[in-house]
Structure 1
């Protein structure tokens, strides 16, 4: 049976993907696969007929693991209190009290998942209920077998809240061989998560947080949530009127979309740090009689109760249900948090080169320089550049802004093409630059002083891929004081360049690295983003 599609806990419990913090690998992991396992759940409420005990499994090694198997040994359970249900392990090998389930061909390095294992409450009595053991193994050879096996002591406890979280790793899915496919820098994907009520009583109200791994951000957060930008982005959410019945599931109607930072260039990597954490607010004996006793807009609840049964329960009086309400006390905190990782692949390898023509003129004159960016690699790029005028000079904005692209004051103050007097700019073409082609940008520079420095510099970056040859990513900006040259128009006219790139629309343009290695200010980035649009160039030239 394939572990990724196993429904060993029955129809009301689904397979989730988590990555418990305790499974995080050592700082210097040994080369090879290293499977690790933790049993997050340990307690079942006395009034709950059954519970899905969550197992968190991961490959924390540096190599893929083939022929992964999960072995469950229930021989240590006190069956007068709890027991496993053999018929639920469809497709697995069941031999007495031992169950073995085999996964697909490869469990990649950094991959993680959570599996629910259903235990039935057989006695309805509080007390110790024995233990069960789980072993996660591979035929590829494990460099650290010590963390492959976990044993948990099971306990039946007094009635209370028992929420359990599930979350999938962030990836681009699985290929035809059931192998995880990583995201590319700049990709968006959906975070799949949910919360189940494993207790025996109705839960009213749920608070939850979603923490993202580094280099991942929320696209359009849920309306009931607030985003906190800490070291990573965190959603803090509250749904006070949601009712989750025993055995029920609380989940968003639409998955939360997240995006990988397009400038994350250290892949392939599995980045841990994602976490879904849920907490029940109150417990009620019956579902309250409120029309508003429903989840917030965009969320839903499913459970063992049918819609008709739910409506009958909603007919009960408000006063009774309010009198029965009590603060929820969590009986098993071990499975309230579900961790997940982001799998990000290597960036596209690109190679851009930048050149800047020199200029000469007397003090007080305005001279023109031309910045050229060429794609000398094999993959298309998203070119942008920073440019710093030599000391003693400053930039002059054109009277008429070019139709394609933008140049802005690098400090982010003021709209595009209004930078006269500034000495540092950030420029982009809003275009994809195909291999073998070149883009140009004419800029005007005023010679303000007789002493012109040699500190002018231009640097090209890309919003697509990682430049493998940084040596040709910078060029000197040379301005000399000398014989007067014809004064250029303050509205530079375009010139034909057969090698110019064709403009296309695509991922949002952003800027990260600048002259001297500084990071561009957020205002400058936002202005470039706001001006991104579809353009048409008839002469195959972008200025």
Structure 2
């Protein structure tokens, strides 16, 4: 029964009620060794099944921490009159007395998926409702519960099948193939559907005849209509036609500046109209339908009998994605400055960062806005009197760390809000700093090290240029007005900056020691469900 934790079915992540699923199952590390035992199981909160359909695949996702003999039981009595729940994993689950009991491995893991087929029983009536009630418990944990509401509905149900095999290694210039398959698990024909892909900034998708391309600031949306109905139980797989035959998947090329983590999303689009976005957003971009490139087609099927147009009965499972880790370097350098003035003068100091590497920083995959954070340590004998919009002061008071858009602080955190921070690009801000005391070579720093936290918040692949100086009244300036420019930290100045940090520690300061066209073939899923 021992097996590794299972990879999460990402299309269910948004619907799980109890626990947010990660993109991949992660075995527990030594950090969990001292954690208190825990065992929870998550499930979709609501689900619909077609009244006379093939049934649909559903998943329960277990998370365990030092759990002994973990198991969960699903009470199916409230749906027994109109539905059946059959374990796909019959080696770990058993059905008896109106309940399904599943015994899982002990230990620690995330997102161990246990799958079932939930199918309508004979005579199921549209509108029937019930619940699947789950209780999870390990030998050393308290009970945890989850409830799924089940409704019998009438309509089609497009389900995207996750055909990727975990995070894939890649490098700039690589050719990649994006798998895309979806199945109609409802009880009505899906009359109008499409493959819709979202390629982020790291990919250049091929042109496929008949597909519509919409360029967004952060990527390209491609919608390829299937062009025919899908009967219940039928599925469609995107394939590319070529001189050597058919290749499953949509072809794209990774850009020269792609780096780190990127993803291509795929949606089984029930309307063939592209991703659901506000019309106000769509009106700001242009879309065009390709009339050249590779051909997109579907294997001919007998035309299904005419039926009334139906609706999608579950829309939470239409999504899948393919993840890549691109081997390329990110190198962001700090930009420092110099300025000079007499006591009482306010000088302008422009600092920031520059991308001097080969890879683009994509804000979305850098943890969201901003794409990069950097920090100013103000030189001695100076006070910030004008704070740029992108920056906030940092300080510690009454054993708590604070941040705010205020002047007069020693430390500042600044945000580069470029959605895509590309090679050669710079992001700078300008501070107004009042010289309160003329000190020759008064030195502060620009860096990616949070001054009140122990770790580097924004990390790149070349730390050698992460730190730059901010020098007021450099030797020989004569105390007059000065200009700017990054100064590398070397020699005596390096010692000065390190000494400043050491002095703060010695003084007992609690440094919170302060983070393009191709075809489709129709397929029928095995065992009547998506696997």
Alignment TM-score, normalising by the size of structure 2: 0.43
Q: Which has the higher contact order (CA 8 A, sep 6+)?
A: 2
Structure number with greater Rg is 1
- Using the size of structure 1 for normalisation, the TM-score is 0.42
